[in-house]
Amino acid sequence: MKHRPSSPVIVALAAGLALVALAALTGCTSASGDDATRTLNVGQLGATKIEEALLEASGEADDLPYEIEWSLYPAGGPAFLEAVPSGSVDVASMADTPPIFGQVAGIGTKIVAVEESTAPDTSTVEILAAPGSGIDSVADLKGKKVATTEATILQYTLVRALEEAGLSYDDIEPVPLAPPDAAAAFASGDVDAVTALDPQRAQMVAEGAQVIGDGVGTTSGYSVVVATDAALADEQRAADVEDFVQRLARAQAWAVENPDAWLPVYTEVSGLPADIAEAVLEREGSRYVPIDDTVIAQQQEQADAYHRLGLIEEKLDVSAQFDDRFNDVLTGAGS
């Protein structure tokens, strides 16, 4: 049986385009630059308001020339992209995989900023198995149930690790789940292995999960900031997106430079035990790099891999995913 994990996600994204007409009828769009009080609609991926807390703790939420309306997307980047056609979102940070599926589905977004990790030989995603399960390597996943989140860096890390081990996606039984649900399924023994990001990754490793694979050498290590075409087409909202991303970059740099101030805030907001929270933050650190041929080539490699492995049907030109207008103000920001 062929596993086509991208199909349900792409269908859901494409179905969201029907909301455009409804948004036009109901006026469900972001505030324009002519409004007395402007609103920037910011998506936070995950189940906790980490970015909101970071801006406040660092002082970057002070003196905002607009209001921020925060929305949580526990299911990750694909859920944010599904919301784009309604006009209820303007910008969000995510890994670099969801924009590929957004392009396939015709969702109007652009990558406007790119961060690379400054943590050496560290993968954002790890593939975990239970201790004593007999699963000691990715090759041992053949025929096993593996929880992952479709159309995300979690899935891409998995498919590339399988490829490196001489397996295909069809050699496993993928179980598509949002990250919190995947962690719960792993803890209950409903799946044999899981792909995990922090904070779930750190929690599971602390509880004894065995790391059997990661994305070092096969994934870009990039995170991206995605803005909607509608926001970028509006001069005032585009300026607000630029301002927000600069504030976010400064806040991220502040967090790395002031761990004693940020750790207690992060611990409280994340709900993690202090030792787990500290372990997560030790893996943090990034800097903004220009959107250039190197970045685009990395994204093209990822899209081509999905196509080669039969997980998306069309071959993409990923250069259409990028807008480099903020390169000059963001390059080198971070720490």
Query: Which has more pLDDT, 129 or 221?
Result: 129
Q: What is the DSSP-derived secondary structure letter of residue 272?
A: -
Q: Is the pLDDT of residue 34 over 60?
A: no
Backbone phi, psi, residue 325, to 5°: -60, -25
**Which pLDDT does position 331 carry in this prediction?**
72
CATH placement of domain 126-214: 3.40.190.10
Instruction: Write the CB contacts of 70 (distance below 8 Å, at least 6 apart in sequence).
Output: 42, 43, 44, 49, 51, 52
pLDDT in tens, 69-123: 999 998 889 999 999 999 999 999 999 999 999 999 999 999 999 998 887 678 8
Strand duo 173-176 + 145-148: pairing: parallel
Provide the H-helix boundaries in 62-152. 77-83, 98-105
- Residue 93 and residue 45 in contact, taking contact as beta carbons nearer than 8 Å: yes
Q: Which of 115, 74, 108, 75 is nearest to 93 (CA)?
A: 115
The CA distance from 270 to 259, in Å, is 15
**DSSP E strands: which ranges in the chain?**
39-45, 67-73, 91-95, 109-117, 126-129, 145-148, 173-176, 193-196, 210-214, 222-228, 286-289
- Residue 209 and residue 128 in contact, taking contact as beta carbons nearer than 8 Å: yes
**Which pLDDT does position 24 carry in this prediction?**
38
Residue type for position 54: L
pLDDT in tens, 248-279: 999 998 998 999 999 999 999 999 999 999 99
On average, the pLDDT of the chain sits at 89
- Residue 242 and residue 329 in contact, taking contact as beta carbons nearer than 8 Å: yes
Coil, helix or strand for 60?
coil
Q: Which residues of the chain form CATH 3.40.190.10?
A: 6-119+220-330, 126-214
**Which pLDDT does position 28 carry in this prediction?**
43
The CA distance from 200 to 184, in Å, is 10
CB burial class (10 A; 0-12, 13-18, 19+) of residue 320? exposed
Q: Is the pLDDT of residue 32 over 90?
A: no
For domain 6-119+220-330, which architecture applies? 3-Layer(aba) Sandwich (3.40)
